[in-house]
Every structure is written in structure tokens, then in C-alpha cells.
Amino acid sequence: MYSAFPLFNTACDLAHSLWKPLIKEGDTLIDATMGNGHDTLFLAKLLLGFSQGTLHSFDIQEKAVEKTKLLLESTLPSHEGRVHLHLESHDNMECHVKDPVKLIVYNLGYLPGGDKTITTEVDSTLKSIDMGMRMLDKGGVLSITCYPGHEEGLREEQALSQLFQKWPPDHVSVSHFRLLNRRKAPSLIIVQKAI
């Protein structure tokens, strides 16, 4: 529908373009909400361009883990040992990832094509964001795609906006990208930790 635009069409397109120059040899990455596996696949392709580095992906739905596993197996058979899929909530990712993390990706909301009553929720998202900031290495980034088109998604976006406005600008840079002429379109929040 919006394929005519030269830089990006969606918040996810913009996010992907920002991740590319960030990821380097040996980085640890997290996809906190794997869903259908598209961000996991994108990150895995970037990471497998290097000889070292690890990706951890999380989701609470078995269907999401299975879809992502099949997507990786059909597209990137060489991913084994470098990409780890966890049937686990993103607010428990600290239990599985011990190395400092360069990038943590959140694509909030519900599983596309799945049960729309199962969504990310404000409380667990805020807990995960707090945890993620502790896990980030210096110069690390949180990338959060918000979906204000449904009730819980709007609550998440508002809660995150209120939280980030309080963070000290000398330690953290927070940007919020929004498509102003697309009603209820997803938005992108980028949190950069100082080097």
C-alpha cells in the first residue's frame, strides 16, 4: 500500500534501517517478542554476516516459537548454535542472557494471525524495559515498536512515553518516530545508552 516511499514505509522498516549500522562482530542481540519471526530472521541474517555473535529470541506462545523455528530452518540453515529461541516472557530474559547486549528489539502487541486477546501488557513490558536497560552494554540500543491501534497497545505507548520523559538525557537518548498522517499507525521508540 505504501511501497512508493524511498526511505521507509513502516515503523518496522525504519527500525531495520537503524539496526544495520549498529551490529558488529561478536555482539549479543535480543528479540524480546519474536512473534512470527520476521525480526528474528532479519537480525540473524545481519549477525551471521560475522563469524561471532549470538541472538536470543523470546515469546510466550508456542505457536510463535514454532513458526520462527520453521522460518529460520527454511531460510538460514546455518543459524544453529548462534540463534536461541526461548518459550519465555521477555520479562524473564535476564535468566537466559548473561553477556552485555548491543540491541534489544520489542515489537509489542499481539501475534499477527494469532489470538488477539494475547498481547504484551504494560506491567511486563515496563519490567522488561527496566531489565533491558541493565542488560545493555554501553552504546546499546532498545528498539520498541508500539501499536496504539488497540487498547493495550495504546496504554503501553503512553506508559513508555511517560517513563522515558523522566530519564536523564546525559545517560540516555530517547527518540519517538510517528507517522503523523496515518491514523493509529505503529510508532517506533529508539533508546540509546551513552557510550
**What pLDDT, on a 0 to 100 scale, did the predictor assign at position 2?**
55
For every residue of 121-145, DSSP letters joined together read -HHHHHHHHHHHHHHEEEEEEEEEE
Confidence of residue 1 (pLDDT cuts 50, 70, 90): very low
The CATH number, out of the four listed (3.60.15.10, 3.40.50.720, 1.10.1040.10, 3.40.50.150), of the domain defined by the range 11-19+32-118+130-193: 3.40.50.150
Q: One-letter amino acid identity for 56? A: H
- H or E element at residue 86: strand 83-87
Break the chain into its structural domains and give their ranges: 11-19+32-118+130-193
What b-and-e string marks burial along 105-127, b requiring 16 or more CB atoms within 10 Å of the CB?
bbbbbbbeeeeeeebbebeebee
Asked if the model's pLDDT at residue 16 lies above 60, the reply is yes
**Reported pTM:** 0.95
Q: Chain-wide mean pLDDT for the chain?
A: 93
